[in-house]
Amino acid sequence: MSLQGKTVMITGASRGIGAETARVFADAGANVALLARSRAAIADLADELGDRALAIPCDVSRYRDLDAAVNATVDAFGGLDVLIGNAGVIEPVARLETSDPEAWGHVIDINLKGVYYGMRAALPVMTANGGGTIITISSGAAHNALEGWSHYCASKAGAAMMTRALDLENRGQGIRAMGLSPGTVATQMQKEIKASGVNAVSQLDWSDHIPPDWPAKALLWMCSADADEFLGQEISLRDPAIRARVGVGA
């Protein structure tokens, strides 16, 4: 699949799914805007990917950062065709009765409000140019409560519903809105979950997790017309039929 001449913005691009997504989209010919708080990490990744990559330090919990990032992307590449809302955190893992209210709220600021801010900043540019694709990284935690994850489950559930609202409101303006639930992925977040020792997910072996290039390849496929039947929906990479269509796994 070619995305030659197209521009994708990826939040949380410094590592894990975000970094692998940048590599997969760059290999497909896309311009990639890399957003993360870690200036050094995205600068290194931009150097790796070459002239079609732009590193933009950004805190997704602040709307002005995302609005400025969209403007910088348009200035550099002339437009914005794809937004991948990938930035997310899970720490600190804690039961409700012992959770720190400020830390709990900060997870909501990143995982939920950060998704909204990205959509809000990108939509005027995309709709003015006839449309675009906006994909939210979801989770099984959006649909199932897990001990110690009230902040993460609530934020992912909210982001999943917001993606459905985006489809309802903006499909007629050419916006392709979808969610991807990748399952458990071998990233730094899984190391944090393992260290917490809380709930069944922390007991999984590293070998149980899929590599981060699987969701990256799924995201590329979701930008194609072959995925149009899933507009407004959440795709699960646990589904063998989806894996077959993406071309990953057994």
DSSP calls for 99-143? --HHHHHHHHIIIIIHHHHHHHHHHHHHHHTT-EEEEEE--GGGT
Residue 153 lies in a domain: yes
pLDDT (0 to 100) of residue 232 = 97
**Residue 200: what pLDDT?**
87
How confident is the model at residue 68, as a pLDDT? 98
Cβ contacts of 167-171, under 8 Å, gap ≥ 24: 167/231, 167/232, 168/232, 170/123, 170/127, 171/231, 171/232
- pLDDT for the residue numbered 54: 98
Q: Is 249 helix (H, G, I), strand (E, B) or coil?
A: coil
Rounded Cα distance between 58 and 56, Å, is 6
Is 248 domain-assigned? no
Whether residue 27 lies inside any domain: the answer is yes
**Within a domain: residue 2?**
no
Q: Is residue 249 part of a domain?
A: no
| Number of compact structural domains in the chain | 1
Q: Which residues pair with 36 in a beta bridge?
A: 57
Residue 1 falls within a domain, yes or no? no
Average pLDDT over residues 33-38: 96
Question: What integer best gives the mean pLDDT of the chain?
Answer: 95
Q: Judge whether 228 lies within some domain.
A: yes
Q: What is the pLDDT of residues 143-189, one digit of tens each?
A: 999 999 999 999 999 999 999 999 999 999 999 999 999 988 888 88
Q: Torsion-angle region of residue 52: left (phi > 0), alpha (psi -120 to 50) or beta?
A: alpha
Domain-located, residue 250: no
Q: What is the pTM of this model?
A: 0.95
pLDDT tens-place string over residues 48-105: 999 999 999 999 999 999 999 999 999 999 999 999 999 999 999 999 999 999 999 9
Say yes or no to pLDDT of 43 above 80. yes
Helices 16-27, 213-222: inter-axial angle, 10-degree rounding: 50
- The domain that contains 211 carries what CATH number? 3.40.50.720
Q: What's the pLDDT at 75?
A: 98
Q: Band of the pLDDT at 250, cuts 50, 70, 90?
A: low
What per-residue confidence (pLDDT) applies to 21?
A: 98
Does residue 197 carry a pLDDT above 90? Answer: no
- The first and second tokens of residue 120, run together, are 């809000």
pLDDT-based confidence at residue 201 (cuts at 50, 70, 90): confident
Look at residue 1 and tell me whether its pLDDT is greater than 90: no
Q: Residue 118: give the domain boundaries.
A: 7-243
Would you state the pLDDT for residue 207? Answer: 84
Which residues does the annotation mark as catalytic?
A: 152
